[in-house]
Amino acid sequence: MLDLTLEDTIAAIASPMNASARGIIRVSGPLTAMCVQRFFRPTANGTSIQRKHAVQVSGSFALQDSLIPGQLLFWPTEQSYTRQVCAEFHLPGSLPILNLFMKQLGETGIRGARPGEFTLRAFLGGRIDLTQAEAVLAVIDAQHAASFQTALQQLAGGLANPFHAIRESLLNLVADLEAGLDFVEEDIEFVSSQQLQTILGQCLETLTTIHSQMNSRTESSGAIRVALLGHPNVGKSSLFNRLAHEALAVVSSVPGTTRDFLVARIQHKNQTIELFDTAGIDELENVDSTGSRSLEMIEWQSQSKSHAISGQSDLVVVCIDSTRPTTNWELSQWNSIDERTLVVLTKLDMEIEETISLKGIATSAKTGRGMDELLDKVVEKNRALNHNTTGWLISTNARCFESVCQATNSLLAARSANLQNLGDEIVASEIRLALESIGEIVGVVHNEEILDRLFSRFCIGK
């Protein structure tokens, strides 16, 4: 279990465990100033740079009988990240030097930090809330630009700000209601029933929006629905079979072989992808005087279904035959590419048509070329789409979902009690329940099990 007290002084190597020009040892706690005085020797007549809340000084560190050149960053007040006196020792990035210095610190009563303990202290000290602590971990673990950007937005408070605003409004409401109860005999009204109803309605509206975003994030974290779209005989079914690792679709040189759609569920990098092979799309040029397509009814129904599936899918993969010239329909698809669309060039094992004017992911169902790249792009595009839409980290979403539901239900009960004139005591009681649920989201109310589960996933030094 993590130590939730702040009495110990902790230290950790905060730089990567490999040879580098600079290594960093981070220290936080009551013994930090003593540690600086004991081991740091500022350069004579050296310059001291005053940062916003820290001092940066060049000098040397005493390491047994030697002096090792380096720099000190020292936060002497509670304006540091951990809200404690804090320091960073910047030394040469030699692991033996860093380990020896850590051993030296341990001999003075400073213990090694556990995973996530610096961020835990920032949380316990009120520097960050629990959603921001989760965002710190997400920034460290981010594998893509979209996930990194979402984590940064959450770290900046973009997710917690609405909860803090709701909490502030509800705290004021409870204070007004309880003040009114204290002066009930004087018939003094601190907040009217109409004002109460308006504020509760505004808070509920915000929670409803958040709940909707969380639902969207939860649904999108399941299987990715991907539709293969393109002209007849461009190689969709061959591509489908190759990705599914099974001959599910009939492959033929005769256009229009696929009349209905086929579905295959595949796994790629721990992500489920639901792949749809759709009927070929013909050019929309053969229209008679009545406006009806000059296709057989079954073909028309098949293509209508293809359009419907592509519209309901998370992503659409437009397949273009690299062995023949680009058509008007393919040009129109290219010109209307959005964040839901990927373009692949098929049959790259054959001779490429010199007049093809479009670019895309080069694939060959025969040789397997481009299959991993295509699936990587599907996962990456879906992740970017989801993060841009909701701005919720998956870990935060999973932890907060139940609390948002409970807060919403409590505020609905408070509003109902107010409408039915059941008494300010009942209304205030329901609002306090909502405050408790919101407090769990931002970490005002917390338990050790949740904190241990979150911060133990951090690396040491963070």
455 assigned to some structural domain? no
pLDDT at 85: 94
Same domain as 348, residue 310: yes
Same domain as 380, residue 249: yes
- E-strand stretches of 278-383: 315-321, 341-346, 361-362
Q: What is the CATH number of the domain that holds 175?
A: 1.20.120.430
Q: What is the pLDDT along the chain (462 residues), one digit of tens a residue?
A: 566 677 899 999 988 877 788 899 999 999 999 999 999 999 887 667 777 788 999 999 998 888 999 999 999 988 899 999 999 999 998 899 999 999 999 999 999 998 889 988 888 888 888 888 878 877 777 665 666 777 777 777 777 888 888 989 998 888 888 887 766 566 666 778 888 889 998 998 888 888 776 765 544 446 788 989 898 889 998 999 999 887 665 554 444 444 456 888 898 887 889 898 888 887 544 434 344 444 444 454 555 555 667 767 788 999 999 888 888 888 888 888 888 889 999 998 877 766 676 788 999 999 999 999 999 999 888 877 764 445 566 667 667 778 888 889 999 999 999 888 888 889 889 999 999 888 888 877 666 766 776 677 777 887
Domain boundary among 350, 373, 390: 390
Residue-range definition of the domain harbouring residue 280: 224-390
Same domain as 234, residue 214: no
Same domain as 343, residue 231: yes
The secondary structure of 225-255 as a DSSP string is EEEEE-STTSSHHHHHHHHHTS--S---SST
Which residues make Cβ contacts (< 8 Å) with residue 37, sequence separation at least 6?
Answer: none
pLDDT at 349: 85
Count how many domains the chain has. 3
Q: What is the CATH number of the domain that holds 25?
A: 3.30.1360.120
| Separation CA 129–CA 139 (nearest Å) | 15
Same domain as 137, residue 22: no
Same domain as 120, residue 79: yes
Same domain as 173, residue 68: no
pLDDT at 144: 59
Same domain as 343, residue 246: yes
Same domain as 113, residue 188: no
Same domain as 143, residue 46: no
Same domain as 429, residue 364: no
Helix (H) or strand (E) holding 55: strand 55-63
Contact 307, 209 (CB under 8 A): no
pLDDT at 255: 47
Domain boundary among 76, 98, 128: 128
| Separation CA 75–CA 121 (nearest Å) | 15
Q: What is the CATH number of the domain that holds 252?
A: 3.40.50.300
pLDDT at 375: 93
